[in-house]
């Protein structure tokens, strides 16, 4: 069973909705802890309503004390109080459970989804608990304060996050110019892995980060190695974009059922 912690997306493309779809497609049982409600569609986010931190903590505590959790995926947390609450519950009840931290800091449309105090709290309290943190390029810049401009800078950024306590870091390079997307995985134990794939020109990329992190969490939860989980997660996201059906007036969702519909 995989626990997804994050915000709700009523358009179904990202957040908890994407998490549940992905975990289910990979054969996992998805539990969901909601941190915030959003008003959004393919054109962007119009509003965010945070859930009371103590209620977020109550959701998480009840799941962890009752169900056989194999892995935890963390997405949008929205503010420092929620970060602190989630970190405290995980520290108390999730010892030994791999945590995949997708640091949802800013939406693709530019809306800040975790305040500055929340970013500091995430680095101090959640990063040291993470088996893997999966920032995209803008998120990696915010978390490290480094001017990351090319693949050559990825190693330095990973070292910074590893020094902050994460067991492994996956930097996603989709925001870089060029025809090839390069993602870079580094672990504190010295594993280094590059994933390269052709950059897809598509309007169906909403929720890629949520989807990738949930796929990795599910695969790690069933005992796959981190490198294997990252590789399979990438392949799934790539195929889900290729087989997506155009939806909405903006950036539409992936086809999370691409592996089932043949």
Positions marked catalytic: 172, 205, 207-210
Residue 225: CB atoms within 10 Å: 11
Query: To which H or E segment does residue 56 belong?
Result: helix 53-64
Cross-sheet strand order for the sheet of 99-101: 44-50, 30-41, 2-8, 71-74, 99-101, 132-133, 168-172, 180-187, 192-198
Q: For the chain, how many residues are written?
A: 262
Coil vs helix vs strand at 88: helix
Q: Are strands 180-187 and 168-172 parallel, antiparallel or unpaired?
A: antiparallel
Phi and psi at residue 196, to the nearest 5° = -120, 135
Structure tokens given for 121: 């709290």
């Amino acid at each position: 069973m995989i626990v997804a912690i994050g915000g709700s997306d009523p358009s179904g493309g990202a957040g908890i909705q994407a998490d549940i779809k992905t975990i289910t497609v990979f054969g996992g049982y998805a539990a969901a802890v909601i941190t915030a409600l959003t008003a959004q569609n393919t054109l962007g986010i119009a509003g965010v309503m945070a859930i009371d931190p103590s209620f977020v903590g109550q959701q998480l505590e009840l799941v962890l004390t009752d169900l056989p959790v194999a892995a935890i995926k963390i997405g949008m947390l929205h503010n420092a109080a929620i970060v602190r609450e989630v970190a405290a519950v995980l520290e108390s009840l999730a010892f030994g459970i791999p945590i995949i931290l997708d640091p949802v800091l800013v939406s693709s449309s530019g809306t800040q989804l975790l305040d500055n105090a929340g970013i500091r709290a995430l680095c101090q309290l959640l990063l040291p608990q993470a088996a893997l943190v999966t920032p995209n390029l803008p998120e990696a810049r915010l978390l490290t304060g480094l001017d990351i401009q090319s693949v050559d800078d990825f190693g330095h950024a990973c070292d910074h996050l590893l020094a902050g306590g994460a067991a492994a870091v996956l930097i996603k390079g989709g925001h870089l110019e060029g025809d090839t997307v390069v993602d870079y995985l580094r672990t504190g134990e010295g594993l280094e892995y590059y994933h390269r794939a052709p950059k897809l020109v598509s309007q169906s990329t909403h929720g890629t980060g949520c989807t990738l992190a949930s796929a990795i969490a599910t695969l790690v939860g069933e005992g796959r190695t981190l490198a294997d989980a990252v590789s399979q997660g990438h392949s799934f996201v790539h195929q889900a974009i290729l087989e997506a059906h155009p939806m909405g007036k903006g950036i539409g969702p992936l086809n999370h059922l691409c592996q089932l519909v043949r």
